[in-house]
Structures are given as structure tokens and as C-alpha cells.
Amino acid sequence: MIQTTEFDAIVIGSGITGGWAAKELTEKGLKVLMLERGRPLEHQKGYIHEFTPPWQAPDRGLPDRALDAREYEIQSKIERGAFSWANRQYWINDRQNPYEQLKPFRWHRTDVLGGRSLTWGRQSYRWGNDDFLANKRDGHGNDWPIRYADLEPWYTYVEKFIGVSGAPEGLENFPDGHYLPPFEMTALEKHLKRSVEAKWKDRRVTIGRVANLSEAIDDERGRCQRRAICNRGCSFGAYFSTLSSTLPAAQKTGLLTVRTGSVVEAIDVDPQTKKATGVRVIDAKSGERLRFGAKVIFLCASTYGSLQVLMQSKSAAHPNGIGNHSDVLGRYLVDHAGVGVFAEIPGFENHNYSGRRPTGILVPRFRNVGGQDADADFTRGYGFQGGAMRDDWTNTAAQSDDFGAQMKHNIARPGKWIAFLGAFCEQLPQAGNRVTLNENKRGGFGLPQLSFDVAYGENERRMKIDAAKQAEQMLVAAGAKHVVTIPVRTVPGVSIHEMGGARMGHDPAESVLNAHNQVHGVPNLFVTDGSAMASSGSVNPSLTYMALTARAADYAVAQLKAGAL
Amino acid sequence: MKINIVPRHEPVGQGSLASPSRRVALGALLAGAVTAGAWTNASAAAALRAAGSAGTPHPAGFTRPDLKILTMAADIIVPVTDTPGAVAAGVPAFIDALARHWMLPEELAQFRAGLAELDKSAQQRYKRGFAACTPAQAADILQALRASSPYEGRTFELAARIEDPKAPFYLRLRDLVVLGYFTSEIGSTKELRYVPVPGRFDGDVDVKTWPYQNVI
């Protein structure tokens, strides 16, 4: 094994949190090595299909069924079109990187520099104080060791850097942030907002808060061009990704080294000092094994990626992996269960919209807020995300079978107005929802496969029924005659809001990380991605990961300077 | 960046001619409106000539007679109107390419059998091949096939129905022609308004000022 250059810090992963860790640590003067398992990808130049028009798309955008079945069996099933001919090259090869599903489970992951910061939905919400109190109040899961007040300044800090477009609402448990101008609602969305807010005083319909620059905020990144093809990559740099935002900032310091094709096998811990000493890496191309040393390690390899590294890091002092003295590692996985409701709403045929908006609308959680609702047979709640737009030709054509001049004319015109609400239901933390290593099955690079044993439970089932009912009532209030409920995100993992497994907590006996994302007992190892989460809340989690990462980096550097690490 | 201003779309003979590019397009199609049928047939005939002599098999796609049937069907399904139709947009070649490398063996078999059935219907009804029918005759045959092609599925997006193994030949033919047309350069820019970089989003505009979809 080759011993190589020492760094002040190693950041494992280059996605949303890895990019943030690299930016913060380098800007504070640390010499940082960023390790990414996937291929290199260059901002702008790497977005090969960004400007490909429909008529030049392979098979005009029809899926490559043979290739997808053979190489992308899992990734090609991503909902909402986030996997396509235009960005297939960012996603991981499933054939070469298998995992075990004890129950149906989707692990959607990329394999390039920048990770899922390239393909994420960009919805950026602060969690409310009740989200951090939920575990303590109802006893599901462990108490979060932090509260909203601990993260509030860090939410502001990251919002100001990434740029979030949104509208302030003044709600207690749906905190407002630092926003660029909101995108406009469509005519039917405005009508839905008026209808819902008039009928229910505790409900709000707001525009999706999204990490797209509705206005330019600096000279580095351009203003959003309203193309809404973000997940191909954006040469304008108009949405937040590692490649457009945190990586250039880190590189500007001159203190960052990036090494792609670096599959982290394990983190070494010195049994005497109890500190992490470095990282063992398999070179993806050569298969060569390397070792890199550092004073501080930030593990930001995505929820399951980080759990895999921790579990693989076995030693005499950590026989079951780092952070696993109390068999909590890999447990309490949570995501967002879903249900979708849509309806045609007539009366807006004279209205249209132009351009493409890179966000939808949101109905913040209104169930069980400030106490249990009398008519709710479930605990916690859900929010809705959706929108109201007109069908396009791909929709209209699929709902008819006619041909000829009239058909050609009809399906090219703006179609029916459809309003859609999709619920994001908080999943209760359960010890039985877990991931383990299967040493008897080998996956990518000969490493043990992750084995998922995750299912939604009775509370999620009840919540979905309620969400469908409430969504129907809201659409009916807006004039819907016939409402259709459809299953969405039924298989765990599909929401790609994966959280937990190395949850934060006060007590090392029931958690893996402390209030500063330090591994209990390994003070110079920080884990700041989704695996740190002790519950799932009801809004998208990425902004919270960013805030946690920036906060942990600030703490780590202060501790390092104080000689405590 | 400013939004691409595209003039009001009006049916032929009603609207004002708002821009030079629109005027050019309208000029062509006003001429076409008079002789639409002839234009259609000429276009189809040219495409049929390009398809070559009868009987030569394609390596893995359609035979040349099949291509002639497909070309006629495409011309009826998305005809020339105030904009060019499926044949000008290269739809038969697109579907032939799909037959060579995209369709599953059973889909290709269904498609070939379906084209043969169209030809057989034309022989029975009009004593001539489908490709030799008049547009009205071909439309009658397609209409009859449509009426006898039940489909119980429900999809909200065209590609999903194209992949549905339960979709009958008629739907597969119709849907692939529609997809091929509306994703072609002609369909994207003449019938739809392809705006790669809108630059702005206006959430509530009068449909008369912007009577288009916002697809990419």
C-alpha cells in the first residue's frame, strides 16, 4: 500500500455536502483532498446534451430499453424524468454496482464528480423547529441534539451563497429564508391558492423554493434562463451544483486537490489516539490501493455511501465498523412516502404561460401542527408539491387515438389544465428499517454489497390515505369535478430523500454522531450528509444537509486550531 | 435575454401576417391550401420513389413495399396543413430506423403484420395497394382499423403508450408517427415553437398572445 501526501483534511464525496465541506474547509485555510469515486466531469464542457434539440436526441428521446435493462436497471426507473438520454452518463452502472434488496428498494445514485448536486430537484426548504422536536415529543426515534435555532444562522449562510428563489410566508413551522424573487404562478395555481387559502385558514399555497438564480447574484453564475432542463447540467451555472458553485469557490483558494476514480474502502482509526488517521482508497481504473492521511475527515459520500464506508471500516477497536458500538449504524433509515392526486380544472382556457419554470408549487404541512389533530389517525404529517399546467402534446396525444389534420392541429395547442398535488409523507424512524453489509455478496470493486431491508409502515399508509383525501378536497375547492389518485414513490428509496443510518443524538448508545456531526468516540471524523438525519421531516432535506455541513466545518476548524483534534 | 417573440398563430386566411418569417411560411401554405391534395401526393410520391423499387428487403427494418405503405400512412396521420407533414419531416425514415435497432422482435413482427394488413384491406376495398390509394381511401382504411383496435390502457405520456406491449398496431403506428413528427425539426419549429432558451417565464399570459406549448 502506498502512503501518499498528507492533507489537513480529506472530504469523501463531491456531491452537495462534499462540495460544501471542501469550500468551507479550504476557505478557512485547510489543505484539502476531495475524493470522488466516479468519473471526472467538467462544468459546461461535460454537459454534452445540454443544447441537444429534440430532433437530435437519440431515438428522439425514446428510452434505450436494451441498454437501460442491461446497465441501468435501477437508475432508469427514476420517477419524474430525472434519468434520460440527456443525462444517463451521470448515473451509476447498476450491473457493475449491484446491491441486495431484501425488500424492494431503489438506490438512485450518480457516478461522476458533482454527484447528485447535478441532478437534484433543487427544492430548498428550512426545517421548522417542530421538525427537530418531533422525535422527542412523540417518542419515535431519538431526540435531535440540535434545534432550529442552532441551524438558523447556517441556513442563512448557505442560502446567501447558493441563491434560493422563493416567497416568504411568515409561517411558524415553515421558516422563511433569504430569497431571490419568486417565480410566478400560473393562472390556475393562483386560483388554487386563492381557493385553498379562503377555505382553510391554516393552509398556504406557495411557489416552490428552489436553488435557481431567478436573478444573478454574482459575476460567476448566470441568471436562470427558464429552460427547466437543469438535470442535464447548466452552463449558465444558474442552479446550485458542486460544479457551478462550491467547487470553483474551493479551487479559488488554491488549497484543493480533487481525485476522481477514488473508491473509498475504509477509514483508518488509531486505536491509541482514537482518531481517524486516513483513508484507504481503491483506484477505480488501475485497481491500485492507496492511502491518504489527514488530520480531519469529512465523510460526505451520500447516505448509503457513507454508511457503507463506516461499516467497511472494521478494526480491533471497531469490530462492527466505525460508530457501531451500539448497533445503531445502518438503522432508522427514513425517506418520504408519497401519493399523487390530480384533476382537470376547467375555466382557464384563455390563460397560458410562456417559458419553462424550474419549480412547482408547495403546500406546507398543515396536519398535526402544534398538536395532534382530532381527526388524524396518524402521527406527524406531510406537505404537498405539485403544480397546475396545461397538457403538452405528449400528454394530449396519449389521451386520444385520432389522426389527420385536426389531430395535428389540436395536439400542438396548449392542452387541458391539470392541477397536481404530490404528498411527501414523513416516515417514522424504525430500528428495523436498516441497511447492512453482505460480506457473502460482492459488488463494485469487490467490496461487500449493501443489503437493504426497508419498508413503509402503518403510519405512512394512513398518512397517504389522509393526504389523498385532503388533496382531493383542495382540488375540488378549486373547481375540479373528477379527481384521480395515483400511486407515486411507493417503493422506498424512490423519493431520493434518503436519510438516517448514522443519526445524530446526545447519547452514544443510541446514535452515531453528536450535535456537531462528529462520530461519537472518533472526534476528527465528521459525517454531514443525509445519513446524519434523525428524522425525515416533511420537506426536502438537502438545504439542511448544507447547513449541517457548513456548521460542522466551522466547528471542526475551530477545534483543530484549538488543538482539540 | 429576451423571450423569442413568435407572432400570433392564426388559421390560414384569417390572421394578420405579423412577421417576415411568418409571412414566408404563410405564403408557402396559402399556395399549398389551394393545391393541398396535390402537394401531399407529390410529396408522398417523391418519398416513395426514394424508397426504391419493390421487393428489396432492408437488412433488419422494413421492406421497400412496407416503407411505401408506412409513408402513405404517415402522410394521412400527420398530413400537410398550414405546416409540412410527417413525410416532409422524415417520419418514415425515423420509424424505419426504430425498426432496425429499437423495436423488440415482437414489436417489429406486429408492425410488419400491421402494414401487410393495411395493404390487404386496400386490396379488398379498392383493388389496389395501400400506397396506391387516394388520401381519402387510405384515410377510410385507417379509420376502419382504428375502429377495430380496442385499447384498455391509460397513459398520460406518449412514450409510455408506445412501450405498452398491449398497444394494438394501429396505436403504435399512429403514436410513432405523431412522436416522429413532433420531435422532428419541422414539427418542433413549424408546428410547435421550440424555444431552447426562453430567458424568462411569464406565469399568466393571454392564450391569444402566446397560443403555444412550452416544450423542449
A331-384, pLDDT tens digit by residue?
999 999 999 999 999 999 999 999 999 999 999 999 999 899 999 999 999 999
Local confidence band at B58 (pLDDT 50, 70, 90 cut-offs):
very low
| Strand partners of residue A450 | A437
Residues 6+ apart with CB under 8 A from A515: A145, A146, A150, A504, A506
Residue B109: CB partners within 8 Å, gap ≥ 6? none
Cβ neighbours of A341 in B, within 8 Å:
none
Facing residues of A297 across strands? A10, A525
Say whether pLDDT at B104 is over 60: yes
Min CA distance, B57 vs chain A (Å)? 22
Name the minimum distance, in Å, from the CA of A422 to any CA of chain B.
16
Is residue A165 pLDDT above 50, yes or no?
yes
Q: How buried is B79 (Cβ within 10 angstroms: 0-12 exposed, 13-18 middle, 19+ buried)? A: buried
Cross-chain residue pair B195–A395, CB shorter than 8 Å: no
Q: What is the mean pLDDT of residues A106-134?
A: 97
* Partners of residue A394 in chain B, C-beta under 8 Å: 157-159, 182, 215
**CB distance A515 to A146 below 8 Å:** yes
Lowest mean pLDDT, pick from A171-185, A388-402, B7-21, B54-68: B7-21
CB contact under 8 A, A65 and B205: no
pLDDT of residue A3: 56
CB A470 within 8 A of CB A495: no
Domain ranges (residues) in chain A = 2-50+81-561
| B29 falls within a domain | no
pLDDT of B21 over the 70 cut: no
**How far is the alpha carbon of A350 from chain B, nearest alpha carbon, in Å?**
5
Rounded Cα distance between A460 and A467, Å, is 10
B58 within some domain: yes
Contacts of A518 (CB under 8 A, 6+ apart): A524, A525, A526, A552
Give the pLDDT score at A219. Answer: 85
Examine residue B4 and state whether it is found in any structural domain, yes or no.
no
Distance, in Å, from the CA atom of B65 to the CA atom of B57, rounded to the nearest integer, reads: 9
B185: closest CA of chain A, how far (Å): 6
Give the SS3 label for residue A8.
strand
- On average, the pLDDT of chain B sits at 79
Within a domain: B84: yes
Q: Among the listed ranges A241-250, B82-91, B153-162, which one has the minimum average pLDDT value?
A: B153-162
Confidence of residue B35 (pLDDT cuts 50, 70, 90): very low
Q: At what angle do helices B64-77 and B169-182 cross, to 10 degrees?
A: 70
Q: Does B172 touch chain A (CB under 8 A)?
A: no
Q: Which of A53, A355, A409 sits opposite B3 (nearest CB)?
A: A355
- Chain A residues in contact with B184 (beta carbon < 8 A): 55, 60
Quick check: is B203 in a domain?
Answer: no
Residue A183 buriedness (CB in 10 A; 0-12 / 13-18 / 19+) = buried
| pLDDT above 90 (res A207) | yes
pLDDT of residue B59: 55
Contact A53 B178 (CB under 8 A): no
With 90 as the cut, is the pLDDT of residue B115 above it?
yes
What gap in Å lies between CA A409 and CA A18, rounded to an integer? 49
Q: Is B156 on the interface with A (CB under 8 A)?
A: yes
Q: Best interface-test mutation with B: which of A47, A55, A79, A417 has the largest number of B CBs within 10 A?
A: A55
Rounded to whole angstroms, the Cα distance separating A474 from A485 reads: 13
> Which of A254-263, A431-440, B146-155 shows the lowest per-residue confidence on average (mean pLDDT)?
B146-155
Q: Given a cut of 80, is residue B11 above it in pLDDT?
A: no
Q: How many residues does chain B have?
A: 216
Residues 336-355 of A with CB under 8 A from B: 349-355
Beta bridge partners of B107: none
Within 8 A by CB and 6+ apart from A105, the residues are A452, A454, A491, A492, A493
Q: Contact A354/B170, CB-based, under 8 Å?
A: no
- Contact status of A227 with chain B (Cβ, < 8 Å): yes
**β-bridge mates for residue A105, sequence order:** none
Region B71-79 average pLDDT: 98
Question: What does the DSSP 8-state code read for residue A341?
Answer: E
In the numeric block, the cell 396518524 is attached to: A378
Calculate mean pLDDT across residues A57-62: 96
Given B157, B202, B208, which is nearest A353 (Cβ)?
A: B202
For residue B82, being part of any structural domain is answered with yes
Q: Check residue B119 and give its pLDDT.
A: 98
Q: What is the pLDDT of residue A79?
A: 77
What single DSSP character describes residue B39? H
pLDDT in tens, A444-472: 999 999 999 999 999 999 999 999 999 99
Averaged pLDDT, A216-242: 95
Which of B183, B180, B159 is CA-nearest to residue B75?
A: B180
Name the closest residue on chain B to residue A415, using Cα atoms: B213
**Angle made by CA atoms A68, A74, A75, in degrees to the nearest 5:** 70
What pLDDT, on the 0 to 100 scale, is given for residue A6?
Answer: 87
Q: What is the overall mean pLDDT for chain A?
A: 97
Residue A181 touches chain B, beta carbons under 8 Å: no
Nearest CA distance, B168 vs chain A (angstrom): 11
CA neighbor of A527 nearest in space, from A540, A535, A518, A536? A518
CATH class entry, domain A2-50+81-561? alpha beta
Contact: A225, B199; criterion CB under 8 Å: yes
**How far apart are the C-alpha atoms of A563 and A270, rounded to whole Å?**
17
Reply yes or no on whether the pLDDT at B52 is more than 60.
no
- B198 vs A225, A351, A409: nearest CB: A225
Residue B213 lies in a domain: no
CA dist A550 and A236 (Å) reads 25
Whether residue B68 is predicted with pLDDT greater than 50 in this model: the reply is: yes
Q: What is the pLDDT of residue B61?
A: 84
**Segment A507-511 mean pLDDT:** 97
CB within 8 Å of chain A, chain B residues 126-145: 139, 142
pLDDT above 70: percentage of residues in chain B: 72
pLDDT of residue B124: 97
Angle at A453 between CA A449 and CA A454, to 5 degrees: 130
B152 touches chain A (CB under 8 A): no
- Reduced to 3 states, what is the DSSP secondary structure of residue A438? strand
* Domain around B85: 36-191
Among B81, B160, B216, the residue with its CB nearest the CB of A356 is B216
Alpha-carbon gap, residue A322 to A521, rounded angstroms: 9
Is pLDDT above 60 for A197?
Answer: yes
The structural domain count of chain B equals 1
pLDDT digits (tens, 9 = 90+) for A301-327: 999 999 999 999 999 999 999 999 999
Chain A 59-78, CB below 8 Å of chain B: which residues? 59-65
Whether B179 is covered by a domain: the verdict is: yes
**% chain A with pLDDT above 70:** 99
SS3 per-residue string spanning A286-330: CCCEEEEEEEEEEECCCHHHHHHHHHHCCCCCCCCCCCCCCCCCC
Which of the four pLDDT bands, split at 50, 70 and 90, describes residue A519? very high
Q: Given a cut of 60, is residue A295 above it in pLDDT? A: yes
